[in-house]
Amino acid sequence: METIEKKKTICPLDCPDSCGMIATVVNGRITGLNGDKDHPYTNGFICRKMRNYPERLYGDERVLYPQVRYGKKGEGKFHRIDWDEAFDILVHRLTETRQQHGGEAILPYSYAGNMGAVNRFAGFPFFNRLGASRLDQTICTAAAGAGWQKQCGNLPGSPPEKALDADLIICWGINCKVTNVHFWQYVVRAKKRGCKVLVIDPYRNVTAKSADIYLPVKPGGDTALALGILKVLLERHHVAHKYLEEETEGFAELSDYLKKSDWQEFIVRSGVERERMVEMAELFYHHPKTFLRIGVGLTRNSRGGMAVRAITSLAAALGLYGGREGQGVLLMSGAFRGVKDKLTYPSLAGETTRKVNMIQLGHALTVLDPPVKALFVYNCNPLSVSPDSAMVRKGLLQEDLFTVVHEQVMTPTACYADLLLPATTFLENRDIYTSYGHFYLGVVEPVIFPVGEARSNFDLFQKLALKMGFTDAPFNQSCDERIADFLTDMEGMPTDISPSKVLKGGYILSTHTTQTGSLSADYKFKFQFNSDFSPTEPQIPCLKEGGEFDDVDLQSRFPFLLITPPHMDLLNSTFGERYIDKPGELLIHPEDAADYEILDGYLVILENFRGWTTRLARLTEDTQRGLLVAEGIFWQTESRRNAINDLTSQKLTDMGGGATFHESRVRVKSQHYPP
Ligand SMILES: Nc1nc2c(c(=O)[nH]1)N[C@H]1C(S)=C(S)[C@@H](COP(=O)(O)OP(=O)(O)OC[C@H]3O[C@@H](n4cnc5c(=O)[nH]c(N)nc54)[C@H](O)[C@@H]3O)O[C@H]1N2
Ligand SMILES: Nc1nc2c(c(=O)[nH]1)N[C@H]1C(S)=C(S)[C@@H](COP(=O)(O)OP(=O)(O)OC[C@H]3O[C@@H](n4cnc5c(=O)[nH]c(N)nc54)[C@H](O)[C@@H]3O)O[C@H]1N2
Ligand code: SF4
Ligand SMILES: [Mo]
């Protein structure tokens, strides 16, 4: 007889929406995934990427068993072994590496393939205890977080629901309709009431196409734009005087700086004319109910941290942190804050080992001294997502590097493994999920048994620790014990809800339902225009020199600016297996295309001094002249070994050590003429 069950789960992907979902299970097999109507933010729908997840779960690309390499590095040829053998190899190789080269020769490399708090950080206690190099996980929000922290301290973002009452919603450096679709449902509802939508972005992305006003900005030009608008507001006495006086500090320094600065600088650096800045200042002034949604896109360049400092300062000058109806500023929600050490256990480390910035993996594998001899990848696909892929590939090809990859599917990185281990998906795991775009959390149970011989990150590292003879308490915890411990003293958790209740399931709303929420009864938020002195960072938001885009030496050789934002059908590189034959498109302005004799649909070569790749040209006025847009991290394949991150740089952002994915200079040429 057929048994049909409906089970609740939560999307684990690195997406601000963290959807509540209902899995349909027929005889122990998942046949469908749908949005949960009981989840207030998900509101019953999920994106098409995840609706088709069962294909990935049971697909041919799934890694089902532990395997060892028999072909050349990168060829992706493996033979099956069992888990006992896999653990023996791990224990032997990690112990030997540590003895011969020291613990720092081992580099764990992970990010956010699975956002469940336990599984995401599951390797940290193990590698701390082992004395391995430490990974600085900076690839996504490091610059954005550092910029926010500088001006706003620990303030959480505004709940997205506040946008429902806004008269103006600004999407600044975020492609909501692609990367934060559930926020868009509030935009649609607010629009019906007459709310205006403004999108500020270097290209007319799909969100901009649905907006009332689109303002193109030069990539990296947001500081100049925000400060230019603020200069107009000051000149017209349109700033929120009362709020500034009572609830902020240091505005006098910033206004002095702005009064003295030359207009031309703001115009040239932002690429926005003064008249348009005046128009924006008037728009903001006449719409006190403004909700500002800031993306991380605008931080992926050498001035990224400063851009967040300038935009949040503009918001403060408008009084948007005042918390009145329809007002808000949301970069990341920060709705719940648990103690991260309860997941990572830095206390297990004997001594402090070196820290490796994950953006500089290419450097770490090829140049760093003492060298990395063992690389352990989980929850991440670095060959595709880390910058300067040519260097990463060179590193992975080294015969004396022992590479372990724990994966769900045969990714480009997995092809370079010496030891390949099968990982469960969220549907086979237990975990706790918070969100960086909304204010709910939840704990979920496995929906099905593991497929093949897959193990969760948590099970893998708990078992490996015991095999290594580590008897410390964290290695004896069950998953529930770790979750319960993490929940204890978690900021944002309602006081009447115990960890045991959370463990039973359901969605919990953070107490930060206003921006200051329950931070503490005596917490008084004051926006700091002049942040604490730091030797490397100016006290007030101000214009700064740019990086690769402004490099005069590179300008004549590599005339185009390249940005590489997310694609609708990929989640970073996840789901790349669905598009193995596709190199991805390159948006190019028709006049630029004409200069290089490129027609729509032509295969073009993109190159710079780091590497090259190919893409299919799409001619469109959605992009500016001189600006190329490559959406999506499509996979490297056997026949196409290079991809978009062959062009991006290991250089870091101004603050937080983040990535500069949207700041590469390139040149372009037509490769062939299709029939
Ligand atoms: N479908 C889909 N959804 C995703 C992802 C995905 O890959 N696909 N990725 C997820 C992840 S991990 C993250 S971090 C988020 C990222 O989500 P977003 O914050 O939306 O993505 P970004 O790459 O950060 O780029 C967003 C926008 O910033 C623009 N941009 C680039 N440079 C600048 C600039 O200098 N100034 C301004 N104003 N805009 C600029 C880009 O053109 C793009 O339209 O999305 C998540 N959601
Ligand atoms: N050019 C360019 N590069 C970018 C970006 C960009 O905008 N432009 N965006 C950057 C950003 S914002 C981010 S966040 C990073 C993301 O980089 P990653 O965190 O590497 O994200 P994904 O590409 O989604 O790859 C995650 C991998 O983890 C695997 N995985 C999922 N769950 C589990 C699990 O439970 N266990 C194990 N062992 N594996 C699992 C998936 O199968 C997948 O292959 O990429 C960055 N790279
Ligand atoms: S990827 Fe984002 S929108 Fe899609 S189901 Fe997951 S959380 Fe929801
Ligand atoms: Mo990200």
Neighbours of ion ligand 4 (CB under 5 A): 140
Q: Ligand 1 within 6 A of 202 CB?
A: yes
Q: Ligand 1 within 6 A of 222 CB?
A: yes
The ligand with the least distance to the CA atom of 222 is 1
For atom 3 of ligand 3, which residue has the closest CA? Answer: 47
Residues contacting 195, CB < 8 A, separation 6+: 166, 167, 168, 169, 187
Helix ranges restricted to H, 488-643: 499-503, 552-555, 590-595
pLDDT tens, 594-605?
Answer: 999 999 999 999
Residue 287 has pLDDT above 70, yes or no: yes
pLDDT value of residue 518:
45
Residue 280 has pLDDT above 50, yes or no: yes
Q: Which amino acid is at 635?
A: W
Residues 116-127, mean pLDDT to the nearest whole number: 98
For atom 12 of ligand 1, which residue has the closest CA? Answer: 14
429-459: buried (b, 16+ CB within 10 Å) or exposed (e) per residue?
bbbbbbbbbbbbbbbbebbbebbebbbbbbb
N- to C-terminal Cα separation, the chain: 55
Residues 382-397, mean pLDDT to the nearest whole number: 98
For 279, counting Cβ atoms within 10 Å of its Cβ (0-12 exposed, 13-18 middle, 19+ buried), the class is: middle
Q: How far, in Å, are 211, 222, 290, 555 from residue 277 at the CA level?
A: 18, 12, 17, 27
Contact predicate 21/42, CB 8 Å: yes
Residues contacting 245, CB < 8 A, separation 6+: none
Most informative mutation of 8, 14, 18, 19 for ligand 3 (most atoms within 8 A of CB): 19
Q: Which amino acid is at 367?
A: V
For 467, counting Cβ atoms within 10 Å of its Cβ (0-12 exposed, 13-18 middle, 19+ buried), the class is: middle
For atom 46 of ligand 2, which residue has the closest CA? Answer: 385
For atom 15 of ligand 1, which residue has the closest CA? Answer: 179
Most informative mutation of 388, 479, 571, 574 for ligand 2 (most atoms within 8 A of CB): 574
The ligand with the least distance to the CA atom of 114 is 2
Residue 21 has pLDDT above 60, yes or no: yes
Quote the ligand 4 centre to 572 CA distance (angstroms): 7
Helix ranges restricted to H, 271-414: 274-285, 304-317, 341-344, 361-366, 382-385, 389-396
Q: Ligand 1 within 6 A of 382 CB?
A: no
Higher pLDDT, 7 or 524: 7
Residues 217-228, mean pLDDT to the nearest whole number: 98
pLDDT value of residue 532:
74
Residue 16 has pLDDT above 90, yes or no: yes
pLDDT tens, 319-375?
Answer: 999 889 999 999 999 999 999 999 999 999 998 999 999 999 999 999 999 999 999
Residue ranges of the domains in the chain?
A: 67-140+351-494, 143-331+516-528, 548-670
What is the spatial distance between Cα 330 and Cα 162, in angstroms, rounded to a whole number?
Answer: 10
Atom of ligand 2 nearest to the CA of 460: 38
Residue 378 has pLDDT above 90, yes or no: yes
* Interstrand relation of 402-407 and 78-80 (parallel, antiparallel or unpaired): unpaired
Quote the ligand 4 centre to 297 CA distance (angstroms): 9
Residues contacting 573, CB < 8 A, separation 6+: 381, 384, 385, 411, 412, 633, 635
Quote the ligand 1 centre to 293 CA distance (angstroms): 12
pLDDT tens, 223-238?
Answer: 999 999 999 999 999 9
Structure tokens at 448: 């099905």
Greatest CA span in the chain, whole angstroms? 79
What is the spatial distance between Cα 307 and Cα 147, in angstroms, rounded to a whole number?
Answer: 8
Quote the ligand 1 centre to 174 CA distance (angstroms): 5
What is the domain class of 67-140+351-494 according to CATH?
alpha beta
**Residue-averaged pLDDT of the chain:** 96
Can you name the residues that pair with 502 across neighbouring β-strands? none
For 2, counting Cβ atoms within 10 Å of its Cβ (0-12 exposed, 13-18 middle, 19+ buried), the class is: exposed
Most informative mutation of 380, 416, 456, 666 for ligand 2 (most atoms within 8 A of CB): 380
**Residue 522 — very low, low, confident or very high, per pLDDT cuts 50/70/90?**
low
Residue 673 has pLDDT above 70, yes or no: no
Atom of ligand 2 nearest to the CA of 14: 14
Pocket of ligand 3 (CB under 6 A): 11, 13, 15, 17-19, 46-47, 49-50, 181, 571
Most informative mutation of 46, 185, 426, 438 for ligand 3 (most atoms within 8 A of CB): 46
Q: Can you list the positions of beta strands (E) in 325-460?
A: 328-330, 355-357, 374-378, 402-407, 419-422, 431-433, 440-444
pLDDT value of residue 454:
98
Quote the ligand 3 centre to 15 CA distance (angstroms): 6
What is the spatial distance between Cα 15 and Cα 333, in angstroms, rounded to a whole number?
Answer: 12
Residues contacting 259, CB < 8 A, separation 6+: 231, 234
* Interstrand relation of 603-607 and 431-433 (parallel, antiparallel or unpaired): unpaired
Contact predicate 652/643, CB 8 Å: no
Pocket of ligand 2 (CB under 6 A): 14, 111-114, 119, 139-140, 378-381, 385, 406-409, 411, 423, 457, 564-566, 571-574, 633, 644-645, 648, 661
Instruction: Tally Cβ neighbours within 10 Å of residue 6.
Output: 12
pLDDT tens, 401-433?
Answer: 999 999 999 999 999 999 999 999 999 999 999
**Residue 554 — very low, low, confident or very high, per pLDDT cuts 50/70/90?**
very high
Establish how many alpha carbons lie within 13 A of residue 71's alpha carbon, considering only the half-sphere containing its beta carbon. 10
Q: Ligand 1 within 6 A of 205 CB?
A: yes
Atom of ligand 2 nearest to the CA of 421: 38
The answer to pTM > 0.95 is yes
DSSP 189-208: HHHHTT-EEEEEESS--HHH
Structure tokens at 288: 């006190």
Radius of gyration of the chain (CA): 25
Query: Where on the phi/psi map is residue 633: left (φ > 0), alpha (ψ -120 to 50), or beta?
Result: beta
Q: Ligand 1 within 6 A of 39 CB?
A: no
For atom 20 of ligand 2, which residue has the closest CA? Answer: 380
Fold of 143-331+516-528: Dimethylsulfoxide Reductase; domain 2 (3.40.228)
Has domain 548-670 been given CATH number 2.40.40.20? Answer: yes
Most informative mutation of 110, 479, 573 for ligand 2 (most atoms within 8 A of CB): 573
Most informative mutation of 14, 15, 53, 183 for ligand 3 (most atoms within 8 A of CB): 15
Q: Ligand 1 within 6 A of 144 CB?
A: no
Q: How far, in Å, are 5, 254, 321, 375, 417 from residue 465 at the CA level?
A: 36, 53, 47, 17, 21
Helix ranges restricted to H, 69-195: 83-101, 117-120, 123-130, 142-152, 176-179, 181-192
Please choose, from the candidates 213, 121, 127, the residue with its C-alpha nearest in 3D space to the C-alpha of residue 169: 213
What CA dihedral angle connects 434, 435, 440 and 443, to 10 degrees? Answer: -30
What is the spatial distance between Cα 658 and Cα 640, in angstroms, rounded to a whole number?
Answer: 28
Helix ranges restricted to H, 345-435: 361-366, 382-385, 389-396
Structure tokens at 457: 């990150």
Q: Ligand 1 within 6 A of 203 CB?
A: yes
